[in-house]
Structure 1
């Protein structure tokens, strides 16, 4: 991994590679969206023209594309709320504009009534926003159209339903691949931050440790996106017949992701405590830095267990256990008699970091496929501290 130059900026070639890889990642994640939107627009136009007797079915494909785009990474409930909001805004706008015409006070009245109706339907924020926004568009951009064989809100509703059908029935996302691609921007920076933290600990570089801690802290929004992607993937395997066969494997993968996230939060706690230890000039043995390096390597190893090659998780588990052993060496031998004082190799913050490290290791073992009791017993046995839970 190339590091920034003396000015703190990345070399031009490194920035270029990063930009290209970021765009490739976005294409892999959202590329299917273009196909879904194209199919939905085609079907919505065809249905609007052939079955709704609309010579210019603009609203049907527009709504279909909007629903496909909105459904990417969101829960089905919010997507349905968006569809209902569009239809509701169109219905209220068409009804009132045909009576009162177009103007400033008419626009305000349409928005107020559309949102009131949405509130009475107990809609959420998405429904309220979409109903008001669509009402504004209808009141300001679209003149009232009379003598239509099919009302425009019906045209829009059909388009939205086609968009939902395309996303769930005809061209559904691949749940596991989608979640894996959402996990990449979480795992890669985490692994890099842990390796950088270990290097900073060896140099007793407080600035480097603080940078690593910051790198772990800013991953919160990416973890939120990963959780939303998991929710969307679970809905797809529940509702899309083409993905029903993936229910079992996605359930296992979801459990692993949740415990992996917990482990990453634990790693952030370790980084925070060790940064405090450096700031307070506490001793940090080299074994602790080696343990962090090895834990980062185990995350990289375990991620290969979810690839098509399906690597054996045993290697990653051995790395985790070895890392726990290294932390125990860094911490020092526990006194055989708990009533007698003894000397630790770590200071106050380092001791807390050791406990957080064991917790993170246990969650990582569970993410590898072990059950909770087995993972806890293995960590306790390795640490030689059976009283730890």
Structure 2
């Protein structure tokens, strides 16, 4: 029974997250129909509300591009279909040929999926329902433009908060990176290659979270561009955008670090005593960065913690270490540079902030 309640709550939370996009789609569909039918005078403008919903979508992003793809796709499909059907007539093989040629033309013009699909569906419409040269084909192009523009207008006037999705996806990405670093620390501390392998498996599965994070930032940037009431959130969004690529690199470097950790532990290499402490400090820096970005603060605390960890990752960690452990420490330093960049430090300054590999950590 508890499991059923939890599943119901999970689904309700999912509905709550998509409530605004659903409302946007509903309003855009209704307005597009009214404009195309009552103002423009099309008898049955079914494609106008469809275009409004497609442009908005429950999964947001690339709306401006979708408007262009819709109109171009419809135009290509109707143009190719009308030209061919007028010459070869209508039938099963003619439909197949028209669809193949319309979609091929769309792919040659642009790689967008929407263009190809709309070209194919528009060609089918011409081949099956519309007499050659009928004005309904032109009307459909107009309907696509009406629906697309109304979809954009609704997105601008009733916008989502561009930071909300960035917060949610960002927390997932930073959380995965921190877990990977803590997993490496525990594996080194316990001399347990199986634990390092488990952390590596989880880190490899984090790619989806990174892709979702990048998509959320793209969507947020679009919203902050077209919606005037969201312009003030652009600076917060820019902090996330600046952190996205360095965090991706940090995760990649962490996967390399875990692979070499597994090799070092299996080979019985000597492990620097302070290595788990430094790895956990980097995990702390990652979590501080996550929290400071979520609050809209300058990530000064995360920068300080990352820098302290980097200063600890000097040659004194390499005492009696073998080849794999030396690679681990080198990767650790690369992760420090990535995290410093994620806090807004330039790459050259981040690299220069670390002591040279031959330097000794100063005594306190």
Same fold flag (TM > 0.5): yes
Deviations 1:128-179 (A, max 9, x none): 5224431365268x63376769723322332122223323x22334333332
2:73 maps to which of 63, 70, 85: 85
| Deviation for aligned residue 1:207 | 1.5
Report matched runs for 1:346-357 at 5 Å. 346-357=321-332
| Deviation for aligned residue 1:23 | 7.4
Say yes or no: does 1:365 pair with 2:348: no
* Structure 1 CA distance for aligned equivalents of residues 129 and 220 of structure 2: 40
Q: Which has the larger displacement, 264-273 or 321-330?
A: 321-330
* Structure 2 CA distance for aligned equivalents of residues 385 and 19 of structure 1: 57
Q: Which has the larger displacement, 180-189 or 356-365?
A: 180-189
* Structure 1 CA distance for aligned equivalents of residues 105 and 282 of structure 2: 54
What is the RMSD of the two structures over their aligned residues, measured on CA atoms? 3.6
| Deviation for aligned residue 1:186 | 1.9
Match of residue 336 from structure 1: none
Query: Unaligned 5+ residue runs, structure 2?
Result: none
1:228 maps to which of 210, 215, 220: 215
CA contact (8 A) 2:182 2:280 kept: yes
Aligned residue pairs: how many? 359
Match of residue 9 from structure 1: none
Match of residue 203 from structure 1: 190
* Structure 1 CA distance for aligned equivalents of residues 136 and 255 of structure 2: 60
Say yes or no: does 1:320 pair with 2:295: no
| Deviation for aligned residue 1:65 | 0.5
* Structure 1 CA distance for aligned equivalents of residues 316 and 142 of structure 2: 69
2:39 maps to which of 27, 51, 69: 51
* Structure 2 CA distance for aligned equivalents of residues 172 and 385 of structure 1: 53
CA contact (8 A) 1:81 1:124 kept: no
Report matched runs for 1:97-176 at 5 Å. 102-115=90-103, 117-118=105-106, 122-126=109-113, 128-135=115-122, 137-138=124-125, 143-144=129-130, 151-167=139-155, 169-176=156-163
Match of residue 69 from structure 1: 57
SS at match of 1:379: coil
Report matched runs for 1:272-311 at 5 Å. 272-308=259-295, 310=296
Shift in alpha-carbon separation, 1:166–1:152, aligned structure 2, 3 A: same
Say yes or no: does 1:214 pair with 2:227: no
SS at match of 2:65: helix
| Deviation for aligned residue 1:361 | 0.8
Match of residue 243 from structure 1: 230
Say yes or no: does 1:193 pair with 2:180: yes
SS at match of 1:346: coil
Shift in alpha-carbon separation, 1:60–1:128, aligned structure 2, 3 A: closer
TM-score with structure 2 length normalisation? 0.82
* Structure 2 CA distance for aligned equivalents of residues 350 and 323 of structure 1: 17
| Deviation for aligned residue 1:213 | 0.8
| Deviation for aligned residue 1:303 | 0.9
* Structure 2 CA distance for aligned equivalents of residues 130 and 202 of structure 1: 54
Shift in alpha-carbon separation, 1:20–1:94, aligned structure 2, 3 A: farther
Say yes or no: does 1:37 pair with 2:25: yes
| Deviation for aligned residue 1:117 | 4.5
* Structure 1 CA distance for aligned equivalents of residues 7 and 304 of structure 2: 32
Query: Unaligned 5+ residue runs, structure 1?
Result: 1-11, 333-343
* Structure 1 CA distance for aligned equivalents of residues 173 and 185 of structure 2: 19
